[in-house]
Chains A and B, each alone.
Chain A
Amino acid sequence: MKKLGVVLAAIVLTAGATLGLAACGSSSSGKEGGTLTVSYASFPDLDPQLSYSAEGWSAIYNTYLPLLTYAHAEGAEGSAVVPGLAEDLPTVSKDEKVYTLTLRKGLKYSDGTPVKASDFGSTVERLFEVESGGSPFYADIVGAEDFLEGKADGISGIKTDDKTGKIEITLTGPSGTFVNELAMPFVALVPPSTPGKPLTTKPAPATGPYELVEVKPGRSWSYARNPQWEKANARAMPDLPGGHVDRIDVTVVSNQSTQVNEIEQGKTNWMFDPLPSDRVAQVQQRYEGSQYKPEASISTYFFWMNMTQPPFDDVKVRQAVNYAIDPAALERIYAGEINATQQILPPGMPGYEKFELYPHDLEKAKALVKEANPSDREITVWTDSLDPNDVAGEYYESVLDQIGFDAKLKVVNADNYFTLIGNAATPDLDTGWANWFEDYPHPNDFFEPLLSGESIAPTNNTNLSRIDDPKLSAKIAELGAEQLSPEVEDGYAELDKAYMEQAPWAPYGNRRLSLFVSSDIDMESVIWNPTFSGDLTSFRFK
């Protein structure tokens, strides 16, 4: 408990410092109002309980607020959990199982409905009803499994009092990540009358400074100021930014080069997506410092190998693949927009300690494959259709051919890719490309959903290698129950190495992202949050 108190105090202090800095930053000159135009290469899910992509989370960060949220700041400061709809960070019981929060008073949804404490319970229930990919994060709330199995009408571990605004959440065991999980958009409050079906086309009323209006699936969506923000919510949450522009129009432009052109022409103010690789050098040269700046991301790009069947059930084969992958080649494929890596945890994540178990050695890779002599050499390689992931897939296929396999590439539309490879019924799931951006700034996020045996699922599977090592899974659970401390971070560093000795993945890079805005945007005011990317409340015109 003492340890937990220290951590929470540190979080509050960091948040305070962050908000102070943010307040200082906002004093620079710039216009208020106007319409911000934005382009996305794909149309994300805008339902807060269902949205589970970098695009979607960026789009709803300032629309749907959870009880806790992340500071509107850059870098490590932006990883701090701060109060959202709740008055303060939770108090935690001695046994670290009960979290208590209090809802701020006077909050309203954008349709005028008052926000109540009991809405948290109905929101979590809705999360399970719509079979959200985020529901496993909340499965350790007492009674959640009974609710999921239809044995109970509600979740017994969530107790609320609408009069006092008190919300008490009881977990089945201690958790080192629950504070982070309370800040994820999955549990952003929606009214209890919200139907248990996907609501992207008819968005639920908002609690944040902007509400979604005019959603045209696959094509565009717009935000207008939440009419209840100034009247009610901004007064109740004075520590959260209200945004500078009055309206935001987002259009889906699938061609990233067109996105760049439209920014150069001033038709669009910001593109969410990274620059296409053949435009990076040109944009850097022309606009660095004025309209362009590189941004870090906490992410790992990797090739996964299905360990449940030949040839990747043999550790020698998986190690051979790691030796055969040349990070220098992949750096060129990504036009220098990735930093080479050979481990699971990315830089910037607590517990990251750099190591390199498999320096590029094609001959050694060939020798390992020869030694393993796998019974099946016909491999299907999966990748998505977005540039340059498709080229990375082609490269990977050629590497597998070089070390003695007969690889065939399957390029799948990016909109369906993860659904397809996460479905156990899909044939020939041998190996392929994937990436992972942090859900929250805790190393558990790179192990539990991706590498724990418990996370293997028939659909929406995120453990793509299907690795189920009981010792390593137990270590994930053990570390996940602890609050972050130097010892726990050391534990994650050891876990990183232990997994890479098993080589379920061939990690190859940490992605660098970029901010590219039109000339009339005050780039210095734009906040790039490590989890939510461009913060829409921070954009303003010069």
Chain B
Amino acid sequence: MSRGPASLAWRRLRGNHVALAAAAVFILIVAFVLAAPLWSSGVADTGPNATHTVEKVEVDGKQREVVSPNGTPIGPLWFGAGGKFFLGADGRLGRDEMVRLMYGGRTSLLIGILAGLLATVLATVAALLAGFYRGWVDAVISRCLDLAWSFPVLLLGIALGAALAVGGLQVGPIEISSGSILLPILIIGTVFTPYVARPLRGEVLALREREFVEAATAQGAGPLRLMLSELLPNLWSTIIVFFTLVVANSMLLEASLSFVGVGVQPPNSSWGAMISSGFKLLYTTPLLTVLPGLMILLTVLSLNIFGDALRDALDPRSRVRLEVEAHTGRYEPGSEVA
């Protein structure tokens, strides 16, 4: 009895120990950020945006200022104050760094996943339409994708972020305020769409010529059924692989946008925004920049390693690799402009 493709993929993935370790790291990071409310209310006894500038904290029986009169925040106290200011204060506002790191991770991951989802959905729709109908539909969609592709990702993201930073976005009944995290999700999802859509379109063009599509057409299947029932199921492995890569790159772009001030707006935290605010205190408190940077590094690395392994497991012939390399020279769309 022969094994199914999913079973074969799982078998291949299970044999890749590095990939499994990467997946474990990612799961740990997700668990860490999901535990934010528990740590915040149960241990630190403060919220992510609560300021403690002129407050004192008791450490080993002694009162210490959270922020010194010259503006230097308290360093890591570990469990010296019962878990309060475990990683110290985040800057001159005296917010708990550990709490902000956990909540910031939730924001970064949420933006990464939702932006990745948005880019993948938009790209799949565009690729199916362009690859199935070909002709003028393909020409219009492809030129639009080329146009978006011609802008460096970071530059396009910053331009969109800056343009929408003050007034937010208002298109008909849809209104997104400038401080909403929906805005970076929309921006990041949009700028990554062409990087997923172009390779997918190539796959659809190839699949369109296959016998099973011809057979379905002969049975009277309409365009919608052909796209959804015949083509889409054959794209899943590519879509899943791209999704993991785009999530990682969306997190990196979010960090970049927040660093230059057009991503997550203060006082809300994200790892990128935390690097930006910590950078101002780089000389006196480098930990404030290093910690969120390390979290981004671990998350992106684990997702990239797992994404690569998933691609190899789902598609041993690595057609995706060839397709992406042909267009960008790299696997990571976001890193092209780095």
A contacts, CB < 8 Å to B: 257, 276-282, 326, 328-329, 331-336, 385, 387-388, 390-391, 393-395, 397-398, 408-413, 420, 426-427
Contact = CB atoms under 8 A, between A and B. Distances in A.
21 contacts: A277-B92, A280-B70, A281-B284, A282-B284, A328-B54, A329-B54, A332-B53, A333-B93, A335-B71, A387-B280, A393-B266, A395-B51, A395-B93, A397-B267, A398-B49, A398-B50, A398-B51, A409-B266, A411-B266, A413-B162, A427-B167
Contacts of A409: 179, 265-267
B71 A334 contact: yes
Pairs A-B, 5 closest by C-beta atoms: A335-B71, A329-B53, A278-B284, A278-B281, A333-B92
A339 to B, nearest CB: 13
Interface in B252-273: 261, 265-267
B68 interface: yes
A279 B93 contact: no
A410 B261 contact: no
Contact of B69 (A326, A331, A394, A420): A331
B68 A332 contact: yes
A385 B165 CA distance: 12
B92 A335 contact: yes
Interface string B37-67: 0000000000001110110000000000001
B56 to A, nearest CB: 12
A336 B266 contact: no
B120 to A, nearest CB: 31
Interface in B62-106: 67-72, 91-93
B53 A278 contact: no
The interface centre, meaning the residue of B70, B92, B165 with most chain A CB atoms within 10 A of its CB, is: B92
B261 A411 contact: yes
A209 B71 CA distance: 41
Contacts of A393: 266
B285 interface: yes
Contact of B71 (A277, A408, A426): A277
B165 A257 contact: no
Contacts of B265: 409-411
Interface in B83-137: 91-93
B70 A395 contact: no
A427 B261 CA distance: 20
A382 to B, nearest CB: 9
B93 A398 contact: yes
Interface residues of B, number: 32
Contacts of A390: 266
B267 A394 contact: yes
B161 to A, nearest CB: 11
B71 A278 contact: yes
Given A426-B166, A427-B167, A278 B283 contact: yes
Nearest to A420: B166
Nearest to B51: A398
Contacts of A397: 267
B282 interface: yes
Given A333-B71, A394-B266, A397-B267, A410 B178 contact: yes
Which of A326, A394, A397 has its CB near the most chain B CB atoms (within 10 A)? A394
B177 interface: yes
A277 B280 contact: yes
Contacts of B281: 277-278
A276 B72 CA distance: 12
Contacts, number: 94
B93 A391 contact: yes
A74 to B, nearest CB: 26
A385 B261 contact: yes
A8 to B, nearest CB: 45
Contacts of B285: 278
A413 B261 contact: yes
A328 B66 CA distance: 13
Interface string B158-179: 0000100111000000000111
Contacts of A394: 51, 93, 266-267
Contacts of A412: 165-166
A396 B283 CA distance: 26
Contacts of B49: 398
Contacts of B50: 398
A331 B67 CA distance: 11
B93 A336 contact: no
A331 B71 CA distance: 8
Given A279-B283, A394-B93, A410-B165, 12 more contacts: A257-B282, A329-B54, A332-B92, A333-B53, A333-B71, A335-B71, A387-B280, A393-B266, A395-B51, A409-B179, A412-B165, A427-B167
A332 B261 contact: no
A332 B69 contact: yes
Contacts of B54: 326, 328-329, 332
B267 A281 contact: no
Nearest to A337: B71
B69 to A, nearest CB: 6
B292 to A, nearest CB: 17
Interface string B272-297: 00000100111111000000000000
Contacts of A408: 177, 179
Contact of B67 (A280, A282, A332): A332
A397 B93 CA distance: 12
Contacts of A410: 165-166, 178-179, 265
Given A328-B54, A331-B69, A398 B267 contact: yes
A395 B67 CA distance: 13
A387 B283 CA distance: 15
Contacts of A413: 162, 261
Contacts of A335: 70-71, 92
Contacts of A385: 261
A348 B165 CA distance: 39
Contacts of A398: 49-51, 93, 267
B176 to A, nearest CB: 13
Nearest to A335: B71
A413 B69 CA distance: 28
A334 B50 CA distance: 19
Contacts of B72: 278, 281
B177 A395 contact: no
Given A333-B53, A395-B53, A282 B92 contact: no
A512 to B, nearest CB: 13
Contacts of A420: 166
A398 B51 CA distance: 7
